[in-house]
Amino acid sequence: MKILTCGAYIPNKVLTNLDLEKIVDTSDKWIKERTGIEERRIEEEKSTASMALEALENALSKVDNPKNILENTLGIIVATSTPDYLFPSTACLVQGKLIEKYNLKNPPQVCFDILAACSGFIYAIYNAYNLLKHSEKKYFIVIGSEKYSKIINWKDRTTCILFGDAAGCTILEKGDQDNFLSFDIGSDGRYKNLLYVPCVDDQDKYLKMKGNEVFKIAIRSLSSSILKVLKKANKKPEDISYVIPHQANIRILKLVAERTKIPLEKFFINIERLGNTSAASIPVAMNEAIEKNLIKRDDLILLTAFGGGFTWGSILLKF
């Protein structure tokens, strides 16, 4: 099994730190120093499913005969905490569009969303990998698509400066060789009050976070998860070509780099331009690293994420 191709959708509208200075009591200096973020993107028209479809179309534009791939695809998982509907799932909405557009006779069948907040993409790959392993089909589509701009309280300076919208996609391909070397997936449901989005009637529907407490647990969880996947695969930090991390805070990544003894230069970072795009951040970053020729076939790459739940996970693979 390997990653066949990647794609991304990045909204056009840029929201800079200077724009945010006009709506909350914050400063470009504070945001840059405390998070590494300079600007983020906001989607004004497309839904989460439409962004997911755009990212998939971008991935399909890089392969020969996309219709043949779609006819031989087991399913679609969309990792998202910001779906358009509770149901149908975002994945079913994407599949419906694909059937129409490509006139599919054998469309992807196993279509569902995964809600694991910022770790959603890692959870989705883990599920897709295991489902595809036991199937006759050859491909699986995994998408992270997020529109956090709709669950952000734009009056709360402690959260509104962090997040942005985007979607990223990968297509897994089953073959003779398995490039996925090890997985580490975890969760701990005891920390609800530190990071959550209510969907009960008597509460507002915005994201709430005790940032500094999440910060400390994120560093511990990411570091230990990275060391676990390396150990499981009998690999060392120096074997890694690139870490593609969830982009939550540059200071988190610096401290994780120190703890794991993986040089920070090996962490692919685009947080300054996109902020935290939750489940979309890893596939978007991976797509960008590939487009910039930083990752080549057979390079060892490590994906790692931490988020609400709490959830976390890492994957070590040969690209």
Nearest to 281 by CA among 151, 129, 120, 153: 120
Residue 30 interacts with ligand UT7 (CB under 6 A)?
yes
Question: Stretches 87-95, 153-161, 186-194, 231-239: which one binds ligand UT7 (CB under 6 A)?
Answer: 153-161
Burial class (CB in 10 A: 0-12, 13-18, 19+), 72: middle
- Shortest Cβ distance from residue 199 to ligand UT7 (Å)? 18
Candidates 29-37, 198-206, 224-232, 236-244: pick the segment binding ligand UT7 (CB under 6 A).
29-37
CB atoms within 10 A of CB 307: 28
Q: Do 166 and 100 contact (CB within 8 A), yes or no?
A: no
Mark the segment that binds ligand UT7 (CB under 6 A) among 30-38, 43-51, 225-233, 286-294: 30-38
C-alpha 273 chain-centroid distance: 15
Pick the binder of ligand UT7 from 276, 277, 287, 304 (CB under 6 A).
Answer: 276
Q: Which is nearer to ligand UT7, 153 or 158 (CB)?
A: 158
Strand 242-245 and strand 300-307: the pairing is parallel
- Quick check: 34 binds ligand UT7 (CB under 6 A)? yes
| Rounded CA separation 257/245 (Å) | 11
- Residue 89 as a binder of ligand UT7 (CB under 6 A): the answer is no
Q: How far is the CB of 210 from ligand UT7 (least distance, A)?
A: 8
| Contact flag: residue 78 with ligand UT7 (CB under 6 A) | no
237: contact with ligand UT7 by CB under 6 A: no
- Is 187 near ligand UT7 (CB under 6 A)? no
Nearest residue to ligand UT7 on Cβ basis: 211
Task: Decide: is 290 part of the binding site for ligand UT7 (CB under 6 A).
Answer: no
Question: Based on CB atoms, which residue is closest to ligand UT7, 157 or 254?
Answer: 157
Among 218, 256, 282, 315, binds ligand UT7 (CB under 6 A): 218
Q: What angle do CA 152, 158, 163 make, to 5 degrees?
A: 45
Q: Figure out which of the listed residues 32, 157, 220, 273 binds ligand UT7, where binding follows CB under 6 A.
A: 157
> Which residues contact residue 247 at a Cβ distance below 8 angstroms, ignoring those fewer than 6 apart?
253, 269, 270, 271, 274, 275, 276, 277, 281, 285
Q: Which of 169, 162, 167 is nearest to 147 (CA)?
A: 167
Cα(88)–Cα(92) distance, rounded to whole angstroms? Answer: 6
Residues catalogued as catalytic: 118, 246, 276
* Least distance to ligand UT7, CB of residue 203, Å: 20
Q: For CA atoms 271, 161, 169, 188, give the dihedral sign.
A: positive
Helix-strand-coil split of the chain, %, nearest 5: 40, 25, 35
Query: Which is nearest to 248 in space by CA: 225, 215, 220, 208?
Result: 215
Report which DSSP code applies to 84.
S
- 79 contacts ligand UT7 (rule: CB under 6 A): no
Q: Does 26 bind ligand UT7 (CB under 6 A)?
A: yes
Say how far apart CA 227 and CA 10 lie, in whole Å: 31
Q: Where does this chain touch ligand UT7 (CB under 6 A) — which range of 123-131, 140-148, 156-164, 167-175?
A: 156-164
The verdict on 248 binding ligand UT7 (CB under 6 A) reads yes
**Is position 132 an interface residue for ligand UT7 (rule: CB under 6 A)?**
no
**Of residues 212, 238, 293, 297, which one binds ligand UT7 by CB under 6 A?**
212
Instruction: Enumerate binding residues for ligand UT7 (CB under 6 A).
Output: 26, 30, 34-35, 118, 157-158, 161, 211-212, 214-215, 218, 248-249, 252, 276, 306-307
